[in-house]
């Protein structure tokens, strides 16, 4: 009403006191309406154009670049859309490719959220200026400080323990103790582990360097290479399968792969898992290496509020429960109880060195692998 009133005033002088026509007859509505419509159009059309360009209506979408490839994630994204009306546009690819793409796209990148399956990549993305502070109170409340960036550029969404899996018939768990011990002569030709190109191994190596220094880490890597049952190949699941097939006796893997094998639709995979036990190394010392799968908001996110909302949704109790019960990862939120299977593996001491402190060692880890001959 006020807007119409203003047009009226501009075109007639005053709405309340229209100037009488010289003839003294009552004012005709027709010329006034014409004037009103044309003046209205003159004002409204540019305003509409302005609205369209400078203060466009919320797009109600969030663009996710994800290095995670799990069905549980997509189900959670659908649930997020149902609850908020915000559509999730998901681009899945290898994390390094996604980060490279964000670099190339620069300020015009449509990426709102980067999700990775490894802390090292988030640390690197933050260091390259690809992320911005998340600014979430919930994140600070529920995520322990070791598993988020002190500057708030990334946060863990789930935790994954990288453990020693052993063949129950050929290894007594009392023979096991630390990652370092796997380099000893008693394990010659018995250790299965994937390639040094793998992010989980790179972040594990960075944690070993942080704890022991580059020299000792290299000696460990060298010993481990000597003890390898075969040259590194396959993924974590393949190490457990090779162990069941008799290729080796111990393997370094993330625990959730054991959960996936135990709950596999494939009976052979369930049988493979049944032969393997889980051992949490370094319990008398720094604790078992725990990596995260996590997220950060892109530096140029066009929908940054939606991105933060999605992070908070994923950190919520319900989503945390889904991630740990469907994908067997540990919830990163201290508010959420572990599902039964994870509880059956037992509680353990975690390496609590903040993952952000691995930053200086991620590059060094690659040199150590190279010098030690870890393919
Ligand atoms: Fe994985």
Q: What is the DSSP letter of 196?
A: T
9: pLDDT strictly greater than 60:
no
Asked if residue 35 has pLDDT above 50, the reply is no
- Quickly list DSSP for 332-368: SSTTSPPPHHHHHT----B--S-GGGGHHHHHHHHHH
72-129 pLDDT, tens digit per residue, is 999 999 999 999 999 999 999 999 999 999 999 999 999 999 999 999 999 999 999 9
37 CA distance to ligand 1 middle (Å):
64
Give the tens place of pLDDT for each residue, 243-274: 999 999 999 999 999 999 999 999 999 999 99
Q: How far apart are CA 121 and CA 130, in angstroms?
A: 11
Beta bridge partners of 116: 294
Structural domains of the chain, with CATH: 61-158+292-339 (3.40.190.10), 161-289+356-372 (3.40.190.10)
Question: Which of 193, 64, 202 shows the shortest CA–CA distance to 121?
Answer: 202
Whether residue 38 has pLDDT greater than 90:
no
Q: pLDDT at residue 312 above 90?
A: yes
User: For position 59, what pLDDT does the model report?
Assistant: 62
Ramachandran quadrant class, 18 (left: phi over 0; alpha: psi -120 to 50; beta: rest): beta
Instruction: Give distance in angstroms: CA of 117 to centre of ligand 1.
Output: 7
* Helix-, strand-, coil-residue percentages of the chain, each rounded to 5: 50, 15, 35
- Measured in angstroms, how far is the CA atom of residue 204 from the centroid of ligand 1? 14
Q: Torsion-angle region of residue 321: left (phi > 0), alpha (psi -120 to 50) or beta?
A: alpha
- Alpha carbon of 294 to ligand 1 centroid (Å): 12
Confidence of residue 328 (pLDDT cuts 50, 70, 90): very high
**What is the bridge-based pairing of β-strands 191-192 and 250-254?**
parallel
Q: Looking at residue 37, what is its pLDDT?
A: 42
Collect all residues with Cβ–Cβ distance below 8 Å to 255 and sequence separation of at least 6.
160, 161, 163, 278, 328, 330, 342, 345
In the structure, how many helices (H) and strands (E) does the chain have? 15, 10
| d(CA 88, ligand 1 centre) in Å | 22
> How many angstroms separate the alpha carbon of residue 308 from the centre of ligand 1?
24
Contacts of 312-320 with C-beta under 8 Å, sequence gap 24+, read 312/136, 312/138, 312/139, 313/76, 313/80, 313/83, 313/84, 314/76, 314/157, 315/136, 315/138, 315/139, 315/142, 315/143, 315/155, 315/157, 316/138, 319/76, 319/79, 320/158
**CA nearest neighbour of 157 among 297, 333, 298:** 333
How many angstroms does the Cα of residue 368 sit away from the middle of ligand 1? Answer: 23
Ligand 1 centroid to Cα of residue 272, in Å, is 18
**Tokens for 137?**
């109170």
pLDDT for 32: 41
b/e sequence 60-82, b meaning 16+ C-beta within 10 Å: ebbbbbbbbebebbeebbeebbe
Identify whether the C-beta of residue 217 lies closer than 8 Å to the C-beta of residue 374: no
**pTM, full prediction:** 0.83
């Amino acid at each position: 009403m006020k807007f119409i009133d203003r047009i009226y005033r501009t075109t007639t002088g005053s709405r309340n006191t229209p100037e009488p026509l010289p003839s003294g007859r009552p004012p005709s509505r027709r010329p006034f309406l014409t004037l009103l419509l044309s003046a209205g159009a003159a004002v409204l059309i540019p305003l509409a154009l302005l609205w369209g360009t400078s203060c466009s209506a919320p797009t109600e979408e969030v663009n996710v670049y994800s290095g995670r490839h799990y069905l549980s994630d997509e189900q959670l994204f659908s649930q997020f859309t149902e609850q908020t009306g915000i559509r999730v546009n998901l681009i899945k690819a290898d994390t390094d490719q996604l980060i490279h793409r964000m670099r190339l796209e620069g300020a015009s990148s449509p990426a709102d959220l980067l999700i990775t399956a490894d802390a090292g990549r988030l640390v690197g993305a933050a260091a390259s200026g690809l992320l911005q502070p998340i600014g979430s109170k919930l994140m600070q409340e529920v995520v322990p400080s070791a598993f988020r960036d002190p500057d708030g550029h990334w946060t863990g969404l789930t935790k994954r323990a990288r453990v020693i899996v052993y063949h129950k018939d050929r290894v007594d768990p009392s023979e096991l103790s630390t990652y370092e011990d796997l380099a000893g002569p008693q394990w010659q030709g018995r250790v299965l582990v994937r390639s040094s190109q793998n992010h989980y191994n790179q972040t594990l190596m960075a944690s070993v360097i942080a704890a022991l220094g580059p020299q000792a880490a290299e000696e460990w890597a060298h010993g481990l290479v000597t003890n390898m049952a075969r040259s590194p190949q396959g993924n974590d699941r393949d190490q457990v399968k090779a162990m069941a097939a008799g290729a080796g006796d111990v393997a370094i893997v993330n625990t959730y792969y054991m959960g996936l094998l135990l709950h596999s639709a494939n009976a052979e995979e369930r049988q493979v898992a049944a032969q393997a036990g889980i051992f949490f190394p370094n319990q008398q010392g720094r604790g078992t290496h725990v990596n995260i799968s996590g997220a950060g908001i892109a530096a140029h996110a066009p929908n940054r509020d939606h991105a933060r909302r999605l992070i908070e949704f994923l950190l919520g109790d319900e989503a945390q429960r889904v991630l740990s019960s469907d994908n067997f990862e540990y919830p990163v939120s201290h508010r959420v109880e572990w599902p039964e299977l994870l509880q059956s593996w037992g509680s353990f001491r975690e390496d609590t060195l903040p993952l952000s402190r691995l930053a200086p060692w991620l590059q060094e880890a690659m040199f150590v692998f190279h010098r030690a001959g870890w393919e």
